[in-house]
Chain A
Amino acid sequence: MTRQIILGAHFPGVNNTTVWSDPAAGSQIDFASFVHLARTAERGRFDFFFLAEGLRLREQRGRIHDLDVAGRPETFTVLAALAAVTEHLGLAGTLTATYNEPYEVARKLATLDHLSGGRAAWNVVTSPDAFTGANFRRGGYLDPALRYERAREFVAAARALWDSWPADPFDTSDFLRTPDAGRYAVRSTHFDIAGQFTVPRSPQHHPVVLQAGDSDGGRDLAASTADGIFSRHGEYDDAAAFAADLTSRLARYGRSRDELKILPGVSVVLADTDAEAQEKAHLIRRAQVSPQTAILLLEQVWNTDLSQYDPDGPLPAEDPDDTAPSIIQGRTRQRDDRVATARRWRDLAEARGLSIRDLIIEVTGRQAFVGTPDRVATEMIRYVEDRATDGFILVPHLTPTGLDEFVDTVVPLLQERGALRTEYEPGTLRDRLGLPPVPADRRGAA
């Protein structure tokens, strides 16, 4: 039997990869946009919808970044509203472990799980920067080295809360069978909390936990405790190497490869012929990298003001100053060695005669799957059959119609080839993802 592909639908985010200049680009905020993408995903029998979190608007050179889509709703409010307009689709959202508390996160997840009939998932991330902390009571408080330790303890605390009600709490004559329903205590390095949790055990008992960090600490967190990892390794060889790395980490924690679903975020470009698809992919890349965005992305590597440069001209001749503090705030630093990256980019531009904009189009954010629906379906099945991944989180470049074509053309092929359900199976999101069930009584478990 063909291995089943797990599919997630990512609502387009606040990077330059989301194209707002296209006349077809709709609102990033109107609820109708979320409804369209979620219903499209459900029509395509996807496993889940995915919504990221924002906690502070990005800034570059001390000013609010104005070139990309900006502005996000609060994640779990949108997911609860989507529970009303979908029936089977999983509802996954990001909540940081840094500027939230386990009690509130556990409560939101358990509530969403009840209201959606067992479809809730949580993508746990960490926020390293004091920049984000300026919006929160605590400010910047956490040593970056401790952020994954806090995240690990955070997830354990949330699960302790989810375990705090018995499976069958209601009495036949009284309301509750026990006055201790919801009683919990968590004492760890980062948390000292206790009391009675208000939410009875939800349909999944433990909502699905995803993890998105790619660092050593992030990968270990995923291997030790998560149900899935939202990875950025979408090219085949890279994905296979990532899967191998995670497999060995899982073994270290006594877990099997089946207990962690590996799901890279990928973009897909479709057309009737492969050549047309390549052409279309290039046009999308040009729309994603406007002349202004090209300079801005270059500045992130050179770490200085390059606004006087011509985007259609050559790259700066001098190396970046790697000692200056980062000019960008509010997002994870993507490239660790600025000087090496700059030299590599300059060499590539010189060798192929690329302008700044051409170079940026070439080296950033390329689409993982470009081709006919048949080619894309075949490729996706190969990844999953080889276990380089367990599926994909699709990141469309257009809101809200960016998944329509995939659902209309690739989904039927995946279904024909037995790699994707034609109707939803009964059960919870956890069941559908093929995750092991949560033991009924975990009280006292680690």
Chain B
Amino acid sequence: MSIHLSVALTDAGWHPAAWRHLPDRAAPFGPRYWVALAAEAERGTLDFVTIEDSPSLQSDRLDGPDGRTDRFRGRLDASLIAALVAPHTTRLGLVPTISGTHTEPFHVATATATLDHVSSGRAGWRPQVAPRRTDADHYGRRDVPELRADGLRDGTYAGHVTDLFTELGDVVEVVRRLWDSWQDDAVIRDVATGRYLDRDRLHYVDFTGRWFAVQGPSITPRPPQGQPPVVALAHATVPYRFAAEHADVVLVTPRDADHAAELVAQVRSVEPKRETPLAIHADALVFVGDDAAERRHRLDDADGAETSSDAAILSGTPEHLADTLADWYAAGIAGFRLRPAVLPHDLTGITRGLVPELRARGLFRRAYEADTLRGLLGLPRPANRYQRRTA
């Protein structure tokens, strides 16, 4: 067994002052930046990279843009960054974040299936809710409550949050059905009968839920992986339930090894019976290197605030980080999505420092053992739900 390791890519890095280290502020809006990051991740034989996204500008506020000019603001469409990176890589999994709240499930299904086609089986998808009124205002088709921090604590928005995740569950369900709506052998090219397709191997998905209905079939043939892995970040019971029912990998945010064991138990307690158990990975923001503590202080000084995160903040040498990961791994965490504080600095800290350290301990692969993301994650290629029914 080996630890699964992935990296979360976002603008200049996860520390709010990371952009001060960019050689050029516009770099994260150009192709070379992303190609170089992905190449570095692949050099480290990582399982996958995620690419953050949101319909709205980055903000420190729950209720909309914060008007700050001293932090990185702006971003490109993550699924297109993943597509650009695909021909430049050969083994690395590519997992863009795509919101399911206002987007069309049909477009999400064809975009993710296409990413899987252009990468020959290396696509994943991190579905996310877009909860804010300012997200909804870009679409202008739905009224949602204005979110305030105190309301989030006292349960004012419990109904809104449950609805968002229930809808996201419907979106994932429809996307999965659309991925399966073409059997792998639907294209027959039978010259004798003049038929390109066997229409009996295509399937209407006929989904009708509270928020939308989708008839199908997809316009895009079944992706090479059949079902690209779905990766979900979750911090509480409602999203744990969403992940347990709909995702292949859940990203949790433990504070330490004991908390990790608690979270694993909590996720397992809401997990229904599944063919393949949900993989539980942990997120952590990382500063890697001999000077990690110093760099963290300097960045905090530049930002005027101490580093804060929804995930644990780990800073230290590769040896120190490997100790922590090994402890959490022993507590039931199968893999880690590390959030580099500064890009590309802490990414290379991972690929050239942490990865060799984990390899030396026999905890991480020395070379890629599979050429699809499912293969790297140890997930079998699933049968087609429609084929099973008609067989």
Contact = CB atoms under 8 A, between A and B. Distances in A.
A139 B213 contact: yes
Interface stretch (B188-196, B241-249, B377-385): B188-196
Nearest to B110: A74
The 9 residue pairs across chains A and B that have the minimum distance between CB atoms? A292-B194, A80-B83, A179-B67, A54-B219, A77-B114, A74-B110, A73-B114, A134-B215, A80-B80
A69 interface: yes
30 contacts: A31-B86, A31-B118, A57-B202, A57-B219, A64-B197, A66-B199, A67-B195, A70-B197, A71-B219, A71-B221, A72-B220, A73-B118, A74-B111, A84-B35, A103-B139, A107-B77, A115-B76, A134-B213, A134-B214, A135-B106, A169-B74, A177-B69, A182-B57, A194-B137, A195-B64, A198-B54, A198-B55, A199-B77, A200-B26, A292-B193
Contacts, number: 209
Interface size class of A (residues with CB under 8 A): 35 or more
B113 A74 contact: yes
B220 to A, nearest CB: 6
A307 interface: no
B358 to A, nearest CB: 30
Contact of B189 (A20, A31, A100, A193): A20
Interface in B59-118: 64-65, 67-77, 79-81, 83-88, 102-107, 110-111, 113-115, 117-118
Nearest to B133: A195
A175 B67 CA distance: 12
B217 interface: yes
A35 B88 CA distance: 13
B95 to A, nearest CB: 14
Contacts of A70: 196-197
A343 interface: no
A174 B118 contact: no
Interface residues of B, number: 77
B19 interface: yes
Nearest to B20: A175
Interface in B15-38: 19, 25-26, 29-31, 34-35
B307 interface: no
B213 A112 contact: no
B193 A71 contact: no
A176 B116 CA distance: 36
Interface in A7-30: 20-21, 29-30
Interface in B194-208: 194-199, 202
Given A29-B221, A112-B80, A101 B113 contact: no
Most A Cβ at <10 Å: residue of B19, B69, B88: B69
Nearest to B22: A175
Contacts of A21: 189, 191
B56 A195 contact: yes
Interface string B173-197: 0000000001000110101011111
